[in-house]
Structure 1
Amino acid sequence: MQFVTYLTLVLTMLFWGGTFIAGRALAGEVNPANAAFIRFAIATVALFFLTLLSDGRISIPPRKTWLPLLLLGLTGVFSYNVFFFTGLQYISAGRAALIIALNPLAITIFASLFLKEPLTAKQFGGILLSLTGAVFVISNGHPAEIFSTGFGVGEITLLGCVVSWVAYSLIGRVVLVSLSPLASVFYSSLIGSILLFFPAAYYGLFSNLGHIDAMNWLGLTYLGFFGTALGFSLYYRAIKNIGATRSGVFINLVPLFSILLSWILLGESIKGVVILGGIMLLSGVSITNYFRSRT
């Protein structure tokens, strides 16, 4: 059972790595606010049918879960996208990816504090090893270049992404007690889409729809279905099965898959030190999960 969970987590990180390729193709073509809303609107429709097929019906959440579900839509969908697209106006994608790579470490610390998930020194060391590997992967073998610039508005804004994702992961653990992973993601995506509609409408959503070409719709569909509906569902299923810490550490695989896909699809070069960083990253993920299993 755990092997299947690990396999689906790796597949999820592959999907999320692909979102950087799709996002890069959409950059400059579709307004960020419009792209975020369309992505989650597609995801919500897909999740409706996936939930219907999996659970047999769309259950109305218990009254006690509506506030957590609102917080899920507010954090993992709305605020994460607002912080992400705002931050990228000030800093490079590589520097943003490094800050977002803090997610597993932040999830681990807060899961230990608030959810009482046990954490040993060896598990913490594994997470730091995977984070170090992620730095080498993201920087293409030049970590000093990432740290050479100051800490400004863009960096502070991207830290909002980290806070949003940590909240989404931890609050989700509470919701999963009452709802299935698919239903949890469906309702959080629905709420997030409603919240994203207002900035999208402000930035001319309806007038811009007719100017989106077929390739951009393909990218948005990938983001909506694979990057959101399927990816978020598999991630939440993993949280339910093995916990927030062990699931969260896999997020460090996202930049590795992103660079590999850039190499395969876009012909971008990969340095040997990046491969070394990937090995460190995979080793850190393995160490964290091995010792968590032993615990």
Structure 2
Amino acid sequence: MTHPSSIAIAAQPARAHAALRPALTFKLALTALFWGGTFIAGRVLAQSMPLMTAAFGRFLVAALLLVLVACRLEGGLPRLNRSQIAVTAFLGFTGIFLYNVCFFGALARIPAGRTALFVSLNPIMTALAASLIFRERLGLRRWTGIGVALLGAMVVITRGDLAGTVHDFSQSFGAGEALMSLAVLSWAAYTLGSRKAMETLCPIAATTYATLWGLAFLSLGAAGEIGSVPWASFGWRIWLSMLYLGAIGTVVGFIWYYQGIREIGPSRAAVFTNLVPAFGVILSAGLLGEPILASMLAGGALAAAGVSLTNRK
């Protein structure tokens, strides 16, 4: 999943007491559903084409649409100075390039539902990184939440066999889990980098430039793959998955999420992102026929409780 929740939190003033309209509730819940669906669409692409090509296709669609959105809503994209070029390039490398290479790499190796549950670690790793880099004080409650969330993640990763993993770590933590862990770290870096970007850029401009940078980085890797991809043999599911990832999972989700940010503030809107792992597991079971393990339910619940405890004011 790639979503702009971290940028939004840094960008807009909170409206803690604004009424939450039913229509907005529906849009924010549907956004979480869309982001949960990116794991299913990503799984389809990851099993059909090389990783760089899959990520490049997704963000080619997203970049074209985001530029149109920027022109429509912001009157175009601003010219960047050297500092803005550097920070948006950093965002493109971490949040678009590195995150999505790891995202598709993980989906090529492990089930979509299992991959989706790693998303619950994003806010936890971001909080830890902020504590180390910006010296943010977490406090006992937030440290407790981080511990609970990490325990939940370990239950998911080890499939409930924590003791057995101590003796054979490779049995539970393979290449797919390692790639998704790296994706979580890259998203934390993207989140922290977005703070600098949002000092001088609006959310749409920052995200559009980050996407364009990420697309440029992905094109370098995809250049050697595209010629060998059997495009003519791809069925509708593959093309629909790519369109879904770029248009629905990225652009529509982005616009609706920022509507929530404007109306009710970032903290309340961000609560809806906790639905993403649950939707990812449910959709992977319903659309891909993946099993839902008891360890996934227990670990996912623990991770969600930890995230809620960490983010509670």
TM-score tier, shorter chain, comes to 0.7 to 0.9
Give the structure 2 partner of residue 107 of structure 1.
126
1:145-294 superposed matches below 5 A = 147=165, 148-150=168-170, 157-205=179-227, 208-231=230-253, 242=266, 253-270=275-292, 274-291=296-313
Deviates more, 1:144-153 or 1:169-178: 144-153
Could you tell me which amino acid in structure 1 is paired with residue 234 of structure 2?
I
Determine the C-alpha separation between the residues in 1 that align with 2:277 and 2:145.
Answer: 17
Q: Name which of 29, 40, 63 aligns with 1:44.
A: 63
Determine the C-alpha separation between the residues in 2 that align with 1:264 and 1:258.
Answer: 10
Report the CA distance between 1:256 and its aligned residue. 2.3
Determine the C-alpha separation between the residues in 1 that align with 2:120 and 2:304.
Answer: 14
Could you tell me which amino acid in structure 1 is paired with residue 237 of structure 2?
M
Determine the C-alpha separation between the residues in 2 that align with 1:178 and 1:271.
Answer: 46
RMSD: 3.8
Report the CA distance between 1:101 and its aligned residue. 4.9
**1:279 to 1:198, Cα distance in 2 relative to 1, 3 A:** closer
Q: Name which of 146, 154, 165 aligns with 1:127.
A: 146
**1:155 to 1:134, Cα distance in 2 relative to 1, 3 A:** closer
Determine the C-alpha separation between the residues in 2 that align with 1:239 and 1:66.
Answer: 26
SS at 2:169's partner residue? coil
Give the structure 2 partner of residue 144 of structure 1.
161
SS at 2:161's partner residue? helix
Contact 1:130 1:252 in 2 (8 A): no
Report the CA distance between 1:92 and its aligned residue. 6.6
**1:157 to 1:186, Cα distance in 2 relative to 1, 3 A:** same
Structure 1: 5+ residue stretches without partners: none
Report the CA distance between 1:44 and its aligned residue. 0.4
TM-score (norm 1): 0.77
Contact 1:61 1:179 in 2 (8 A): no
Contact 2:37 2:283 in 1 (8 A): yes
Percent sequence identity over aligned pairs: 38
Give the structure 1 partner of residue 39 of structure 2.
20
Determine the C-alpha separation between the residues in 2 that align with 1:220 and 1:123.
Answer: 38
Report the CA distance between 1:154 and its aligned residue. 5.8
Determine the C-alpha separation between the residues in 2 that align with 1:114 and 1:162.
Answer: 17
SS at 1:50's partner residue? helix
Q: Name which of 72, 89, 92 aligns with 1:53.
A: 72
Give the structure 2 partner of residue 80 of structure 1.
99
Report the CA distance between 1:26 and its aligned residue. 2.5
Give the structure 1 partner of residue 5 of structure 2.
none
Report the CA distance between 1:161 and its aligned residue. 2.2
Determine the C-alpha separation between the residues in 1 that align with 2:80 and 2:123.
Answer: 29
Determine the C-alpha separation between the residues in 1 that align with 2:68 and 2:224.
Answer: 29
Determine the C-alpha separation between the residues in 2 that align with 1:55 and 1:162.
Answer: 31
Could you list the per-position Cα deviations for residues 65-95 of structure 1 after superposition, in whole angstroms to 9, with x for gaps in the alignment?
Answer: 1100111111111122334445666667677
Deviates more, 1:102-111 or 1:124-133: 124-133
Could you list the per-position Cα deviations for residues 124-176 of structure 1 after superposition, in whole angstroms to 9, with x for gaps in the alignment?
Answer: 2223334444555x46x932179443266665554432332111111011101
Determine the C-alpha separation between the residues in 2 that align with 1:155 and 1:258.
Answer: 16
Structure 2: 5+ residue stretches without partners: 1-14
TM-score (norm 2): 0.73
Give the structure 1 partner of residue 8 of structure 2.
none
Contact 1:15 1:226 in 2 (8 A): yes
Deviates more, 1:61-70 or 1:154-163: 154-163
**1:205 to 1:250, Cα distance in 2 relative to 1, 3 A:** farther
Could you list the per-position Cα deviations for residues 151-210 of structure 1 after superposition, in whole angstroms to 9, with x for gaps in the alignment?
Answer: 666655544323321111110111011111111111111111111112212012586444
Determine the C-alpha separation between the residues in 2 that align with 1:59 and 1:194.
Answer: 19
Contact 1:34 1:200 in 2 (8 A): yes
**1:222 to 1:205, Cα distance in 2 relative to 1, 3 A:** farther
